[in-house]
């Protein structure tokens, strides 16, 4: 028995927010003081570092659970399964459903229950729950699905990553340009086909690193101090990721028994183009190997950072031949890797 991804789906919101749309924002330092640079220069520097030229925002009437539902429908259709046969629905997110122009997160009921309801699944033994694991949430959900299947507790799981980060960003913070909305979903099941999940690695670094990402006040000191927004220490996250993610990928690859030369694609959480490129360089440096051409697909330039949705969305795009110079063939070995709030890191070596 092998545990494989038998169906994928993603939902990419239609609303495009370009970098030009930030030229009229009032960006402030954390102490509320004005930044002594014109917005055009701030935006240009931002794009040079992150690679983000535009991002997607959900329409006002849609919430994160809606996006997850749309992606789930596509994954179920792709796998050609009866949704009543799903044993677990695992939904990774960070903030629940945040309605447009609202300041409160809604997670009652959990997003997994909402999505199961929208899918009209009647089977009460289809267990639906959420996972809060920062940006690595979807990868961790796949690891949990594997554990359920391997333990004989399930045969088929639906794992979703969905987020609307645009609704928890501080418009006075330059980091607000990073975040976007989207959803990706996968069907994970036991099959007799070759390949599947070969190995995984997970770790949580919390002693010093727990609050590198946090909920904090707006940079605008005049706004309500009881309203919180997503905040981060970008420099510390960058250094943390470069130190720990390549090592986690290496450990995972060694567990799998696969060589570095057999890896065809590496799907890294789309957080920051420069950071992802540095992680890739550090990873191949551990093997004293050259980086192959087109090894790392990127979607961040057009889609931004949608947290838990970036990896499954990216995988779905490549699987459907929707990214130039990237495709997958049966038997290809790929690596999924992510890092995020917590601080959590994880990796999966997977054979298509």
> Cα–chain-centroid distance for residue 299?
11
Q: Are residues 48 and 137 in the same domain?
A: yes
Structure tokens at 57: 């925002």
Distance between CA atoms of residues 9 and 70, nearest Å: 8
Place of tokens 């057999």: 262
CATH number at residue 274: 3.40.47.10
Domain boundary among 193, 228, 261: 193
Q: Are residues 22 and 98 in the same domain?
A: yes
Q: Are residues 170 and 228 in the same domain?
A: no
Q: Are residues 134 and 55 in the same domain?
A: yes
Q: Are residues 208 and 144 in the same domain?
A: no
Q: Are residues 213 and 162 in the same domain?
A: no
Q: Are residues 271 and 296 in the same domain?
A: yes
Q: Please give the model's pTM, rounded to 2 decimal places.
A: 0.94
pLDDT on residue 318: 97
Residues 6+ apart with CB under 8 A from 330: 195, 352
pLDDT on residue 281: 97
pLDDT on residue 111: 98
Q: Are residues 127 and 26 in the same domain?
A: yes
Domain boundary among 154, 172, 193: 193
pLDDT on residue 276: 96
Q: Are residues 186 and 294 in the same domain?
A: no
Q: Are residues 184 and 221 in the same domain?
A: no
Domain boundary among 162, 193, 224: 193
Q: Are residues 175 and 140 in the same domain?
A: yes
Q: Are residues 165 and 213 in the same domain?
A: no
From first to last of the 352 residues of the chain, give the pLDDT tens digit: 899 999 999 999 999 999 999 988 889 999 889 988 888 999 999 999 999 999 999 999 999 999 999 999 999 999 999 999 999 999 999 999 999 988 789 999 999 999 999 999 999 999 999 999 999 999 999 999 999 999 999 999 999 999 999 999 999 999 999 999 999 999 999 998 889 999 999 999 999 999 999 999 999 988 888 889 999 998 999 999 999 999 999 999 999 999 999 999 999 999 999 999 999 999 999 999 999 999 999 999 999 999 999 999 999 999 999 998 999 999 999 999 999 999 999 999 999 9
Q: Concatenated DSSP letters for 106-125?
A: B-SS-HHHHHHHHHT---TT
* Number of structural domains the chain divides into: 2
User: Please, which contacts does 109-118 make with residues 24 or more away whose CB atoms are closer than 8 Å?
Assistant: 111/64, 111/65, 111/68, 111/162, 112/160, 114/65, 114/69, 115/65, 115/68, 115/69, 115/72, 115/89, 115/91, 115/160, 116/89, 118/65, 118/66, 118/69
Instruction: For residue 45, give its domain range.
Output: 2-193
């Amino acid at each position: 028995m092998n545990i494989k991804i038998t169906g994928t789906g993603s939902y990419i919101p239609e609303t495009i927010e370009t970098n030009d749309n930030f030229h009229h924002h009032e960006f402030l330092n954390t102490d509320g003081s004005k930044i002594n640079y014109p917005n055009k220069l701030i935006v240009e520097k931002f794009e040079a570092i992150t690679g983000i030229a535009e991002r997607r925002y959900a329409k006002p009437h849609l919430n994160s659970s809606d996006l997850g539902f749309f992606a789930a429908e596509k994954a179920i259709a792709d796998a050609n399964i009866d949704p009543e046969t799903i044993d677990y629905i695992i939904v990774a997110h960070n903030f629940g459903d945040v309605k447009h122009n609202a300041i409160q997160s809604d997670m009652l009921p959990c997003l997994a229950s909402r999505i199961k309801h929208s899918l009209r699944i009647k089977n009460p033994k289809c267990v639906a729950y959420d996972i809060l694991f920062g940006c690595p949430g979807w990868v961790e959900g796949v690891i949990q699905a594997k554990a359920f299947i391997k333990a004989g507790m399930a045969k088929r799981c639906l794992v979703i990553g969905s987020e609307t980060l645009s609704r928890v960003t501080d418009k006075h913070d330059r980091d607000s340009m990073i975040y976007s909305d989207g959803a990706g979903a996968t069907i994970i099941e036991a099959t007799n086909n070759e390949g599947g999940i070969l190995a995984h690695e997970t770790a949580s670094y919390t002693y010093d690193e727990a609050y590198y990402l946090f909920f904090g006040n707006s940079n605008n000191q005049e706004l309500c101090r009881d309203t919180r927004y997503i905040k981060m220490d970008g420099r510390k996250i960058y250094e943390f990721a470069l130190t720990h993610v390549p090592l986690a990928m290496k450990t995972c690859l060694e567990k799998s028994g696969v060589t570095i030369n057999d890896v065809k694609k590496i799907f890294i959480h789309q957080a920051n183009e420069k950071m992802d490129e540095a992680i890739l360089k550090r990873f191949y440096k551990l093997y004293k190997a050259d980086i192959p051409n087109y090894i790392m697909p990127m979607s961040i330039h057009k889609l931004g950072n949608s947290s838990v949705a970036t990896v499954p969305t990216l995988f779905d795009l490549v699987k459907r031949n929707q990214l130039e110079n990237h495709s997958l063939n049966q038997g290809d070995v790929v690596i999924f890797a992510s890092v995020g709030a917590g601080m959590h890191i994880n990796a999966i070596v997977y054979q298509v």
